[in-house]
Structure 1
Amino acid sequence: MASLPFSFRYMSSLATWKMLSGAIETGSFSVAEMAHRRSLTCSASSSRVVLHPPDLVQWIRREGGFVHPMLRITNQGSDGLGVSSLSKIPAGTDLITLPGHIPLRFQRSAEPEELWIMRLGLRLLQERAKIGSFWWPYISNLPETFSVPIFFSREDIKNLQYAPLVYQVNKRCSFLLDFEKEIKTLLETLEPKHHPFGGQDPNASSLGWAMSAVSSRAFRLHGEVLSGGQKTDIHMLLPLIDMCNHSFQPNAKIVQEQEKGSSKMFVKVVAETHIDQDSPILLNYGYLSNDLFLLDYGFVIPSNPFDHVELKYDGTLLEAAAMAAGLSSPRFSSPAQWQQEILCQLKLLGDGAITKVNLGGSGVVDGCLLAALRVLIANNEERVQNFDLDTLVTLSDEAPLGISIETAALRIIIALCVVALEHFSTKIMQDESILKGNLSPSMQLAVQFRMQKKLMIIDVMRNLSRRIKRLSKKNSSA
C-alpha cells in the first residue's frame, strides 16, 4: 500500500494515448524474450503476481538499500501483507532506505498530473512483461488482484448505494474500456520487435491492474531541482515501503535525503514514535474520505473522522428541508441581491460556482453551506455585514447572528441529513444483518462502505442536536 491518493479525470482515449505514448519504451524486447514473455493476464490464483516471488528484502539490500534487521513482511489479517517489527525499535531509527535507482518512476514531464496514474501504470506493465526486468523482484511481490471497486461486479457497484462514488467507478471503468480499444489499435501498427509489451496487448483487466497498483501504492515525492531552487514533484513506486499499511496515528514517516556532495537522493522510512515488538509499521496515507480510500486503496475505515457525504447546493432542496424542520421557509431559491453577492463569495452562485457541499468530515458541516444558511435566514444585511466570511463559515459554540438564526440553520442541516439517509435503499440494521452472512469480499466492502456513510450522517445529526440543546439552554438562561 502507499501514502498518496490520485485524482482521476476522464479524458478521451485518443487524447490520453497521445499524451501517454512517451510513457513506454519501444524496441526493448528480443525475439527470444517475446517467446518467453511473462503474462499480463490477471487472475485470482495467488495472493501475489507469482506464487513464490523472489525475496524482496534481500533484493533491496543487494542493490545497496537498507532494511532494519528487525523488520519482516507479515500477514496483517484484513490489512493484507505489511511490514512489521520483530522487536522494540526506538523513535528516530532508520527503518528502510532506498537508493535512487530502486524506485520505479518517470522523469519530470509537462503532461497533466492526472495522467501519471496511467503513465506509471504502463511502465509497470511493460516491466512486468519483460524478461530480466530489474524490478521483477518488486513486481512479482505485488498483489495479483486488487480490492478496488473497478473490479467489483455490476451488482456490487450498485450495492455501494452512493451516487458520487458509483459515478467515479463507472468513469474509471469506461476509461479503461476505451483505452483498451485505443491501445490495441495503435499497437497493431508496430513491428513485433518494437512492441512495448512483448507482443501482448494489454486488456482492460491488465490496465485496471496497473491503474490499481499505482493508485494504491505510488508516492508523490520531490524530483529534480529546477533553476531558482524550485523542486518538482514526481510520482514513484517504492518497493517494500509501499507495503506499510495506513493509520491516522502513524508510527513512521517518509523522508528524503540528499547524499553529501552529490545530487543523489535517498528515500527513507524513519520511526516517528517508539515501535513495540510485533507491531506493524504504519504510514499516514492522507486525511481522506472513505470514497478515496475505497476507490484508490480498496479498503474502508470504520468511524473515519474525515468521511463525508456530498450534496448538491440547491435552493429548492433547502426550502424543502426547512419545511421538514418545521420552519417558515426563507426564500432560498430567490435570494436578495446582497445575499447573492455573499453566495458568490462562497462560490455557491455565479460563474465558476461549486455547487457541491459536504456533511461530515473534520468540520462536521461544510462551512460554505453553514454560512449560506446563516445569511439567508438572517435576511438582515446590516446585521450580516458586521461579520467577515471567516466567522460565518465557522461552526463554533458561538452563534454569530443570534441563537434563533443559528438554531434554524442547524435544524435545516439535520433535515438535509435525513434527506441524505433516504438516498440509501437499506437501513443500518439491515446492513449489519447482511454482514453476518457469507459474502464475497467485494460485497462485504460495498456494505461496509454504505453502512459507514450512514453511521457518519447519524453522528452529524447527533452533534448538531447537542449544539441546538446547548443553544436552547443558553437562550433560556439569558
Structure 2
Amino acid sequence: MRQLHLVSLQLLGFLLVFVPFPRHIFQVDALAAGTSNKGRKVSSSKSTGGGGGFGAASKAPTFIHTPDTSESTQNLLQFLKAQKAKGLDNVDIGFHQGTGVRGLFCTTNMKQGQIICRIPSDCALALSDPNKNGEDAPTVAHGGSNFLEMYWNNEQNKRLWSPYLDTLPKQGSEQFDPTPDFLGEDELMLLEFPRLIQRAKERKEQVGKVAAEKGISEEELRFATWLVSSRAFQLSLSAPANEKDEMPQYDDRGQVIDKAQKKTIRVMVPFIDMANHSSDQPNCKLTLIDPEKDDAWFALEATRPISAGKELVISYGSGVDSSVELLMDYGFVPSSNRIDSIMLEKGGDDAIAKLDGWTTTLDEDKTMLEMSRDDPVLQKILRFRIRLKESYKR
C-alpha cells in the first residue's frame, strides 16, 4: 500500500469521487511537517508551476524510453485533459528501453520544488465510504472488495471510469508483478524470511475471509487486492473534534495513538500511480495542492532538479520500507535498499539475525539465480534472498 500522510493540512476539502455513495467531505488530520519517518508523504503546496526549466539548454536531452502509444493510454490522457488535468505535456507514459517497465518520464527540465503535473481531486477513486472513516475497509482485502463492488463490477461506474480502469495491469500481463500471497506453500517457504512468510499467510487469510463474507471468488479478490495494494495511496483521516470524542488510545509504549494513524482511506490516482519506485534516489513526490479548497489537486513535485528524458520516480510506502514490505505490497525486489541493513540490525523474532541463519550461502543463491532464468517465480525468490544477504553488516 502506498501510504501517504498529508503534511500541514487542515482539510482536504471536497474530494469528489464517483462512487455508489453521495459525494462526501474528506477531513484530514494535519501532521507535523519536517523530519517525518513517512517518506512518500503528501505535502501541501501552493505552487502552480509546470513546464519551465533551469538555465539555457546546453544539449539535446537523452530519452531512455519508448512512448506508450496504446489506445488505452491515449484514452486516459484524453479523459484527464477533459477533466482539466494540467502539466501532462511535461510527462510521457512510456517503457524504459533497458528494462521494458512502464513508467513516467520527464519531457522538459524541472527545477527542485516545481510542480510537474497535477490531477484534479475529483479524478481520484476512493475505495471506501469517507463517512465511515475507513471502517468499511480495515484491511487491504476489504479495499479490494470495495474496488470490485464500487467500480469493476458496477456497470455504471465501470463505464464512467473505463479510461482509467483499462490502463490497470491485467493478471498474467507483463505489468503484473505478483506479491508473495500468490505463491503456493512450497514456493512461499523458499523465501525463508519469517516476517515475509507470516505476512503473506495473513494476506491469504484476509482474502479468503473477505471473499467468503462477500460471496466472491478468492481468485478475483486476490487480484483486486493486489491492485489496491500496489496502486492505491493512503490518506489519513479523522472525524471532526467534538465533545463526544472517544478516550485516547495508547500503543504498547504508552504513547497516544494519533487519530490520523488510526483511520485511513485508500485512493487510486490515475496517471500518477504509474510512477515507479526508487529506494535511494527518488526525484519527485506526491503533493496536495490547495487542500483547503474544493478544487484540490494531486500533483507530482520535483524534489531535485530533473533533466528532460529522466524517469520520474517516487518512494513507495512509508519511504523507509525494507525489501520485505516492498515485495509484500508491490511485488518487486529493489536493486538496492539501505533500509534493509537497518531492518536486519534491529532484528526481531520474525527476522533472520545472522547470515549463517539461512539454509544457503550468498554465492549459492547467486549461482542458482543464473541457472533459473526460465523460472520467473524462483528468480524473484532468489533476488529477495540475495538482496537481504548482501545487507548484513560484515
Pick the TM interval, shorter chain.
Answer: 0.5 to 0.7
* 1:109 corresponds to 2:120: no
* 1:66 corresponds to 2:90: no
Number of equivalenced pairs:
298
Q: For the residues of structure 2 that align with 1:259 and 1:174, how far apart are their CA atoms?
A: 37
Deviation at 1:171, TM superposition (A): 1.9
1:145-179: per-residue Cα shift (whole Å, max 9, x none)?
34211122333212212122112112211232233
| 1:299 paired residue number | 332
Q: Which amino acid aligns with 1:272?
A: T
Q: For the residues of structure 1 that align with 2:120 and 2:383, how far apart are their CA atoms?
A: 39
Runs of 4+ in 1 over 6 A off after TM superposition: none
* 1:130 corresponds to 2:149: no
Q: Which structure 2 residue ranges, 5 or more long, are not aligned?
A: 6-18, 22-69, 172-176, 243-258
Query: For residues 290 and 436 of structure 1, do their structure 2 counterparts lie closer, same or farther at Cα, with a shift above 3 Å needed?
Result: same
| 1:474 paired residue number | none
| 1:160 paired residue number | 191
* 1:253 corresponds to 2:285: yes
1:386-429: per-residue Cα shift (whole Å, max 9, x none)?
xxxxxxxxxxxxxxxxxxxxxxxxxxxxxx97x63343222111
Deviation at 1:111, TM superposition (A): 5.0
Percent identity between the aligned chains?
A: 22
Deviation at 1:225, TM superposition (A): 7.7
- 2:283 and 2:304 in contact (8 A); partners too: yes
| 1:85 paired residue number | 106
CA RMSD of aligned residues (A): 3.2
Q: For the residues of structure 2 that align with 1:217 and 1:138, how far apart are their CA atoms?
A: 12
| 1:421 paired residue number | 355
- 1:253 and 1:270 in contact (8 A); partners too: yes
Q: For the residues of structure 2 that align with 1:211 and 1:170, how far apart are their CA atoms?
A: 14
SS in 1 for 2:229: helix
- 1:218 and 1:235 in contact (8 A); partners too: yes
Alignment TM-score, normalising by the size of structure 2: 0.67
Q: For the residues of structure 1 that align with 2:102 and 2:92, how far apart are their CA atoms?
A: 10
Query: For residues 222 and 62 of structure 1, do their structure 2 counterparts lie closer, same or farther at Cα, with a shift above 3 Å needed?
Result: farther
Q: Find the structure with the greater CA-based Rg.
A: 1
* 1:177 corresponds to 2:208: yes
Deviation at 1:5, TM superposition (A): 8.7
| 1:15 paired residue number | none
Query: For residues 62 and 147 of structure 1, do their structure 2 counterparts lie closer, same or farther at Cα, with a shift above 3 Å needed?
Result: same
Q: For the residues of structure 2 that align with 1:182 and 1:367, how far apart are their CA atoms?
A: 36
Q: For the residues of structure 2 that align with 1:298 and 1:450, how far apart are their CA atoms?
A: 14
Deviation at 1:281, TM superposition (A): 0.8
| 2:377 paired residue number | 442
Q: Which amino acid aligns with 2:367?
A: S
Query: For residues 443 and 5 of structure 1, do their structure 2 counterparts lie closer, same or farther at Cα, with a shift above 3 Å needed?
Result: farther
Q: For the residues of structure 2 that align with 1:139 and 1:227, how far apart are their CA atoms?
A: 36
Alignment TM-score, normalising by the size of structure 1: 0.56
SS in 2 for 1:123: helix
Alignment of 1:184-223 (within 5 A): 184=215, 202-221=216-235
Q: Highest relative contact order (Cα 8 Å, sep 6+), 1 or 2?
A: 2
Q: Which structure has more helix as a fraction of its residues? A: 1
SS in 2 for 1:74: strand
Q: Which structure 1 residue ranges, 5 or more long, are not aligned?
A: 7-23, 27-50, 185-201, 308-359, 370-415, 463-478
- 1:149 and 1:442 in contact (8 A); partners too: no
